[in-house]
């Protein structure tokens, strides 16, 4: 199963920060031995934009770990990168993903500019439980993740003819995916210090007085 890095080659040069590419579940997903009805899948896709919370996102891949502060308000989220992200215009400390506008904004505070990049699937974070290409899901039992009560699942996903098995922790009350860990390789993503609360609208807007700079070409994937 191929997961994409967050930072595109070209306009965005280098960082160890990874984002998880996770999409809506596909038809035929099963929970135990019982198929999930199409109506439940539609509800799950709607739930993808239903969360509003703050926390920290942690990525681990190939022996490297990265962190960022995260603020989520439905179909938009703000990522405050630890160490920043280098672009052709300078260092961006914050990126804002606007699914509603199909854009990603890199905030360059020292230059008071915003680099605008068309959104791609690998810019998206996944919050609801069901995974793209999921073919089976078994409940292992009650657990704890991010200091919150959770349910632990054993999930098998198949994409492009390749299967991968995961442990997945899902918040028992809110349904947020708190942690996803591959059983087949050195890879995981988790949300920590999660606080469900209303987030200010201005977190997800371009700061006043900043110049908007449109990307001339669609960046390609890194890695």
**pLDDT (tens digit per residue) in 7-46:** 333 444 433 333 333 333 332 332 233 333 333 343 444 4
pLDDT value for 216: 62
Q: Is 6 left (phi over 0), alpha (psi -120 to 50) or beta?
A: alpha
Kindly state the tokens that stand for 8: 């595109």
Kindly state the tokens that stand for 185: 């390789």
pLDDT value for 90: 86
Count other Cβ atoms within 10 Å, centred on residue 53: 20
pLDDT value for 101: 95
* Separation CA 199–CA 220 (nearest Å): 31
Percent of the chain predicted with pLDDT > 90: 63
Confidence (pTM)? 0.75
In the chain the domains, ranked by start, together with CATH numbers, are: 30-196 (2.50.20.10)
pLDDT value for 38: 33
pLDDT value for 47: 54
Q: Which residues contact 79 (CB under 8 A, 6 or more apart)?
A: 57, 68, 69, 70, 94, 95, 96, 97
* Separation CA 8–CA 163 (nearest Å): 26
pLDDT value for 85: 85
CB burial of residue 147 (10 Å; 0-12, 13-18, 19+): exposed
pLDDT value for 31: 29
Low-confidence ranges of the chain (pLDDT < 50): 1-46, 218-223
């Amino acid at each position: 199963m191929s997961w994409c890095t967050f930072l595109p080659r070209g306009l965005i040069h280098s960082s160890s920060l990874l984002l998880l590419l996770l999409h809506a579940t596909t038809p035929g997903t099963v929970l135990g031995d019982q198929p999930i009805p199409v109506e439940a899948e539609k509800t799950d896709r709607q739930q993808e934009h239903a969360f509003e919370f703050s926390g920290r996102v942690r990525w681990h891949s190939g022996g490297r770990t990265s962190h960022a502060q995260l603020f989520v308000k439905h179909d938009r989220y703000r990522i405050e990168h630890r160490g920043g992200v280098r672009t052709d215009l300078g260092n961006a400390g914050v990126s804002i993903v606007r699914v509603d506008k199909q854009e990603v904004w890199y905030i360059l505070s020292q230059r008071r500019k915003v680099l605008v990049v068309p959104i791609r699937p690998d810019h998206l974070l996944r919050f609801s439980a069901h995974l793209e290409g999921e073919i089976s899901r078994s409940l292992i039992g009650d657990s704890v993740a991010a200091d919150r009560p959770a349910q632990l699942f054993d999930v098998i996903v198949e994409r492009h003819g390749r299967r991968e098995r995961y442990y997945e922790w899902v918040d028992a009350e809110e349904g947020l995916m708190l942690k996803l860990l591959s059983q087949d390789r050195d890879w995981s993503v988790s949300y920590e210090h999660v606080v469900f609360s209303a987030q200010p609208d201005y977190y997800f807007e371009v700061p006043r007085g900043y110049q908007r700079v449109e990307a001339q070409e669609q960046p390609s994937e890194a890695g």
